[in-house]
Amino acid sequence: MTTTNDAQAGKVVYSALKPTGELTLGNYIGALKTMAALTQRHPCYYTVADLHALTVDNVPAELRRRSLDFAALFIAAGLSPDRATIFIQSHVRQHAELAWALNCYTQFGEARRMTQFKDKSAKAPQNVNVGLFAYPTLMAADILLYQADYVPVGKDQQQHVELARTVAERFNNRYSPTFTLPECLFPKEGGAKIYSLTEPTGKMGKTESDENGTVFLLDTEDAVMKKFKRAVTDSDGEIRFDRANKPGVSNLLTIYSALSGKTVGEAEAALAGAGYAALKETVGQCVAAALRPIQDTYKTLIADKTGLETILKEGAQKASYAAAKTLNKVYKKVGLLQL
């Protein structure tokens, strides 16, 4: 396991978020803040994974809107196009092309063991499509195209990165060294996983049905404060971190710690004896203050659609150049005729 503290400077980083649902506070703290920090020390490729979004039902116009929204929020959250390559996945055709080639080097049993395929199939049995099954090989192509050394992930995606590594090693051994073997990159101290405000044993997801438990990056300050006032805590009234016995309070302390710069211990000390109403008020205000500059930058970016599209075109061109070099090597090694 590699953490953000251990990652060697200059190594390539790849990460992506799928434009289903709307980006949340959990995405910001758990992924985007880490992704932004990595741009200071690493060449980074960050994509809006719209091809992956096709595995679930979508309204086409909504998928296009969310893809632009995600790109704007990436930038607003600190993923500067001056320091990272930011693009839409479907704008780089090599993702789909390498995915097909890798399908032919991935064993059926390996794909069938993927936990997320089992989980998502159970949740939507009416739409268990081949794309959902082959999702991990497209993810492997995403990573391997850019010779990524590190992939920032949560524990739920670790299995997919391990499959990418397995397929890459198999290909390298059969032909010759072609792909960098990627490593999972975990945030320091296991990462700040953010849970639902109303169900603090489950994650704060982009597509959760209870919006009261999810803070979206574009929520108004009034909406943010209302959600925190309704946050589930417990009955003993003590503000201390105890994930097993006090999941609601622990979740609020984690959020406050991640956005205030205080450690969880410092947050406990600062709020000791304040009461749960004050805890919710303090954390809500901290969140609203953190979201304000993100929302302001987002509004500026989304109002200038031409400028935003220019950034994405330039990102896709840069990504395509790197991706083409990898794909050409693969096609040559597997025997495809190139003119």
Q: Region of 118 please: left (phi>0), alpha (psi -120 to 50) or beta.
A: alpha
On the question of pLDDT at 232 being above 90, the answer is yes
pLDDT of residue 222: 97
Question: Whole-model pTM?
Answer: 0.93
| Residue ranges of domains in the chain, CATH in brackets | 2-186+304-334 (3.40.50.620), 211-299 (1.10.240.10)
**What is the chain's Cα-based Rg?**
21
Q: Is 203 considered catalytic here?
A: yes
> DSSP code of 20?
S
Note if 155 is an active site residue: no
Residue 206 known to be catalytic: yes
**pLDDT at 211 > cutoff 90:** no
Q: What is the pLDDT of residues 109-150, one digit of tens each?
A: 999 888 888 888 888 888 888 988 999 999 999 999 999 999
Q: What is the pLDDT of residue 208?
A: 60
User: Given the structure tokens 């096709």, which residue do they identify?
Assistant: 54
Q: Choose, from 206, 227, 246, 280, the residue flagged as catalytic.
A: 206
Q: Which candidate in 203, 227, 246, 280 is catalytic? A: 203
pLDDT at 218 over 50: yes
Element (H, E) at 87: strand 84-88
Q: Is 36 helix (H, G, I), strand (E, B) or coil?
A: helix
* Selected catalytic residue, list 11, 18, 33, 120: 120
Mean pLDDT estimate for the chain: 93
Cα separation, 250 vs 233, in Å, equals: 9
Q: 209-213, 280-284, 294-298: which has the minimum mean pLDDT?
A: 209-213
Q: Which residues of 270-299 are buried (b: 16+ CB within 10 A; e: fewer)?
A: ebeeeebeebbebbbebbbebbeebbebbe
